[in-house]
Amino acid sequence: MAPRQHRGSTLPDRRRAEESGVAKEPTEGAPSTRSGRRRESRPGGPRQPSGRQASGRPGCISRVAGRQHVTHLLAASGFGAPSRLPRLLAAGRVAVNGQPVRDTDARADPRRDVLAVDGEPVALTNLCRYLVVHKPYRVMCSFTDPEGRSTLAEYVPVPDVYAAGRLDYDSEGLVLLTNDGWLLHRLTHPRYEHPKTYLVQVERVPDEGALETLRRGVLVKGERTLPAEVELLRGDERPTVPPRSVPIRHRENVPTAWLRVTLRERRKRQVRHMTAAVGHPTLRLIRVSSGPIALGDLAPGTWRELTDEELEALSRALHLPRSEGSAPTRAPAPGASSARRSRSRR
């Protein structure tokens, strides 16, 4: 059975959005404080929920993180604050798969292990939520915007979920939303090189030389991008995509082409900078997958919950050794090594 799709709801007022604890970053790389002042972006993206929510309540239980601290699982299940739970363990009242655990560093997998207190199984029902939304064109990848632009709040009436990575205002496609702090960190921190795939419509048809340059990496603001997977889609491979609210500019004598591009790094407007660097400006950009999670036929402005199968596939992908899941390392920019040697001599 196909996953149920949900259409957008009406825009909630700003006070309700703020009280729900949703993300408040207006643009990628430029989050703002409540006073409206801009502050530097964190290396791993905007501040994400941790083990405890902003209200002080224990966080939810991750369905993709695997083994988690027993104290966290108990706190999320209503057995008290994490600071009080070591005494429960020390008293021998907690067991995992029938074996008493007293170490506060003990872990259990909520999908496979049986956690019990005083011999009674613990119902691990406070699970994190995982959604995928098809972000339309000219919609902010956040739930509030001080400039009054359209946001995800118009389409996703679910409180306390955050975007796992950004998507430009003028880009479209898949955005993962969750309240799982562990997953948000793994998907947004550049260390993990999580792959994302895009359909990119560009001006003119790139030749093999331009495609190979994109694959090897191009210089963007003085730094070479990581190697990417780039494929020119020809004939029947050309995608059928939903119409955009504002059509792309059309020029009679300038053909267009579609590329499929997979990146393993997150830099602001990276695809657009890359195609422009080889002389083929981006006209339209649609994210179609994030790791094993695919956009499929989800219509613009609709959302759905991830299926159990998708969560299992996502968990497996996130726990792969980096040698199995990573692309080649970044090639240095021309002159970079000599510049470093020069700096070291000074």
Which residues participate in catalysis according to the annotation? 168
Q: Could you give the angle at the alpha carbon of 121 between the alpha carbons of 115 and 126, nearest 5°?
A: 70
Q: How do strand 282-290 and strand 172-178 relate by DSSP bridges?
A: parallel
Burial pattern 107-121, b for ≥16 Cβ within 10 A else e, equals: bbebbebebbbeeee
Which residue has tokens 């074996």? 99
| Tokens, residue 181 | 């702090």
| Spatial separation of the C-alpha atoms in residues 126 and 61, rounded to whole Å | 6
| Spatial separation of the C-alpha atoms in residues 337 and 343, rounded to whole Å | 10
Contact 21, 159 (CB under 8 A): yes
Q: Is 303 helix (H, G, I), strand (E, B) or coil?
A: strand
| Spatial separation of the C-alpha atoms in residues 237 and 183, rounded to whole Å | 33
Contact 158, 131 (CB under 8 A): yes
71 burial (CB, 10 Å; 0-12 / 13-18 / 19+) is buried
Closest CA to 121 of 77, 186, 152: 77
E-only strand ranges, 112-228: 115-117, 120-121, 130-135, 162-163, 172-178, 196-203, 219-220, 223-224
Contact 123, 115 (CB under 8 A): no
